Structure 1
């Protein structure tokens, strides 16, 4: 549902007495007049006291009710800016040696074999600020960044640093966060032929954790990692193919931990939990979020559907892309933004959102792996996602997307698309306007759940709206409680 912004309160200046009332220049000769003025001053002071008390209570009420998506696990006042922790157990952040996180950034130009990551690791992983030119956004905002799709681990670290549920005392913590930039490290050694060298930092991390007393109390069951790359990048096996992965997630101590990743292994990832890829919008306040929701809701959508993407070669699951490209090119109702080498609108965040904000449906085909960041770009733009594999979203993001899949998305089995089979245009044309509008409302109401709030938001404004990190903390609190108590913590295996 849309969030309602509280009505502005009247200015307090209206209720303040003037200096002449409080400090008269001449003594009143009439005692009745003096008594009347004294009563007036008392009344005004009492009014100010009442209004101040009401505003304090209103602020407290807002801080407790705006995180409506969370189930309160505990409410604790911690030592982070004297704010109240709601929805999560208190957590402790390990102060890891720098080679596991911030030290990696010293060589940011070598963190990815395909691109220089230095611009992308700026601003705590948000990347470079961008000026929005999306038609639906009427004015520039300081909450838009050219965020890299594989950078979630940095953003989560920054968000947790300022989170009100953080505690600096490990004896108070019920959750323990290990801020390992495993995705950035993995991408820097994809082409390392020496497997021992490729695995070295992951092995060093596990050795470090096993030397820590807090890890050994519950054998790591109350610890969690956040990884900005897919689980496949950390699950190399001796008998399986080598795609540049390391062995982090296959190490027994890590299997006890909870792992947040942008794509989980659907069949073996019992301790893995899918988190959204970061998109480009990182609001600092509830007001900014609501403004965007309103503007994208009012957006005019001349295209029935659109596809932002390119071809893939040598991948069985990517065959559907060729069919999508063909059908989109042959349709007068489809807008195609084809990606490839060289200059492309695909690399311009605002150009991508411009197309999606003008489209009623956005096609989401698997690519190098099952999932893609484009799914969350389309939700941000209020465009209904169309999936061709259940592993693109349905088996991945159970914490963030509704169980009722048809309430916010369309599913067309990739095996039903092809020569002489289903036409994507015809399937979408058969959806009634009423059902389409219901789905769009559901999509727009998902924006806050798949958005990473600006890391400084919890410092600037004591109001949260239940973003990716808040929801993850709440779910992790439940899981850790169940794991430590010996219960089955509800795997999301297919």
Structure 2
């Protein structure tokens, strides 16, 4: 028997249910010939075992942190302080909750799956994967998702699934795609589940925090940051603060690693940052050429105060790859107006083309191949100092322009703020286009 629901989970359940009923009723009464043409989305009504029940064990997963505090405010987490209106202690792995809550406000929901152009699966796949990644089901990670497939295809109105055999279905998977890409044949199994390797889900569109180099099912969408403004005034106030901030540091690295003796980009960044403290800054116009904020062991993960102030004071934020090519810090940097410096194309350009168009990367970021830094003696400081100040200012303005595209505004936000597309809006818009193409291709076969 599962443990009793916590207060947080009970509140989440009641609000999700009430909002769902209200939103679907409103959408059903909408004019089918309105702006919702070709935009209708149907939410599959999954049993709670696939979403809300998974939250009841939020403190009981072996070898994994207690994530109960981060489920509050529909996945935004607790406020950073009592008077905060826009800042939360957000855990990026709660994106499934954030997305679920936001989609209930989508204006083109329908209870008729035959009218829908896309079917949303409110399955908390990343949370469900924890038991396979860290728990007793580790040796059965190839089973991840099979219960869901059985429910969709055989138990609950299988005609919805069989109409397009999953081509019109999509879900959010709040972890990098590699965590769901273990080959089914691995014996013994390695880290990760096999959800994206299951033939049963090859047709489903998965929105992940990071995608593989040659994705078929998945598309990367931005990591959630801690900034979730409720109205346009708070967003504009923050942008003005970022624009006015004095940038006394040339470059900043927020992160950990780099202590190994083996050559790698993080080690090179640490060494260059340490050596730069002895360099003269008299002619550079910067108080510091490099600053390093040590966030080892996750000490900064839920405390934006630790890194946002240094980011506001830096012109460039270094974004080297780690265990995966991308970092949440990239999107934190956008919020602070700190120009990202990438060291491999998989860190951004080849992943987030929906939200950060590939053709525009040169307008808001700097690219320095990591091999040049690690093995060819290229100094990051020299590359960044060679960029004219007027160009730096122009790039920062572009970063500020892109900011709304990579943030997730707060649910229930004002109409004024809803006029600016955020990360959720863009993800939905592009998912509908992707599904449209896949369904048309499937129908033509």
Tell me if both proteins adopt one fold, taking TM over 0.5 as the criterion.
yes
TM-score under structure 1 length normalisation? 0.76
Equivalence for 1:162? 105
Residues 102/413 of structure 1: CA separation in 2 closer, same or farther (3 Å cut):
same
Does residue 1:78 correspond to 2:15, yes or no?
Answer: no
Which of 167, 170, 181 is matched with 2:124 structurally?
Answer: 181
Is residue 172–residue 206 contact of structure 2 (8 Å, CA) maintained in 1?
Answer: yes
Offset, 1:236? 0.9
Distance 1:218 1:434 in 2: 52
Residues 191/487 of structure 1: CA separation in 2 closer, same or farther (3 Å cut):
closer
Unpaired runs of at least 5, structure 2:
1-25, 278-288
Equivalence for 2:269? 324
Is residue 90–residue 302 contact of structure 2 (8 Å, CA) maintained in 1?
Answer: no
What secondary structure sits across from 2:399 in the alignment? Answer: helix
Residues 406/86 of structure 1: CA separation in 2 closer, same or farther (3 Å cut):
farther
Which of 218, 239, 246 is matched with 2:164 structurally?
Answer: 218
Offset, 1:341? 3.9
Alignment RMSD: 2.8
Which of 265, 271, 274 is matched with 2:212 structurally?
Answer: 265
Distance 1:358 1:164 in 2: 39
Does residue 1:415 correspond to 2:371, yes or no?
Answer: yes
Distance 2:126 2:377 in 1: 40
Equivalent residue runs for 1:128-167 within 5 Å: 128-131=78-81, 141-167=84-110
Is residue 153–residue 162 contact of structure 2 (8 Å, CA) maintained in 1?
Answer: yes
Does residue 1:275 correspond to 2:215, yes or no?
Answer: no
Q: How many residues are matched?
A: 402
Offset, 1:487? 7.8
Is residue 338–residue 346 contact of structure 1 (8 Å, CA) maintained in 2?
Answer: no
Instruction: Decide which moves more: 322-331 or 224-233.
Output: 322-331
Provide Cα deviations, 1:153-181, integer angstroms capped at 9, x if missing partner.
Answer: 11111100122122223232111000111
Residues 241/370 of structure 1: CA separation in 2 closer, same or farther (3 Å cut):
farther
Distance 1:315 1:195 in 2: 32
Distance 2:325 2:118 in 1: 30
Instruction: Decide which moves more: 249-258 or 123-132.
Output: 123-132
Is residue 91–residue 301 contact of structure 2 (8 Å, CA) maintained in 1?
Answer: no
Equivalence for 1:56? none
Instruction: Decide which moves more: 390-399 or 318-327.
Output: 318-327
Which of 246, 253, 272 is matched with 2:200 structurally?
Answer: 253
Distance 2:60 2:309 in 1: 32
Residues 352/243 of structure 1: CA separation in 2 closer, same or farther (3 Å cut):
farther
Is residue 308–residue 346 contact of structure 1 (8 Å, CA) maintained in 2?
Answer: no
Residues 346/157 of structure 1: CA separation in 2 closer, same or farther (3 Å cut):
closer
Equivalent residue runs for 1:47-66 within 5 Å: none
Is residue 110–residue 117 contact of structure 1 (8 Å, CA) maintained in 2?
Answer: no
Greater RCO, 1 or 2 (C-alpha within 8 Å, sep 6+)? 1
Does residue 1:337 correspond to 2:293, yes or no?
Answer: yes
Is residue 233–residue 243 contact of structure 1 (8 Å, CA) maintained in 2?
Answer: no
Is residue 259–residue 272 contact of structure 1 (8 Å, CA) maintained in 2?
Answer: yes
Offset, 1:348? 2.2
Offset, 1:191? 3.2
Which of 352, 361, 368 is matched with 1:397 structurally?
Answer: 352
Does residue 1:485 correspond to 2:428, yes or no?
Answer: no
TM-score under structure 2 length normalisation? 0.83
Residues 285/80 of structure 1: CA separation in 2 closer, same or farther (3 Å cut):
farther
Offset, 1:419? 6.3
Residues 80/186 of structure 1: CA separation in 2 closer, same or farther (3 Å cut):
farther
Unpaired runs of at least 5, structure 1:
1-76, 133-139, 490-494
Equivalence for 1:381? 336
Distance 1:396 1:108 in 2: 30
Is residue 132–residue 139 contact of structure 2 (8 Å, CA) maintained in 1?
Answer: no
Offset, 1:244? 2.4
Equivalence for 1:33? none
Larger radius of gyration, structure 1 or 2?
A: 1
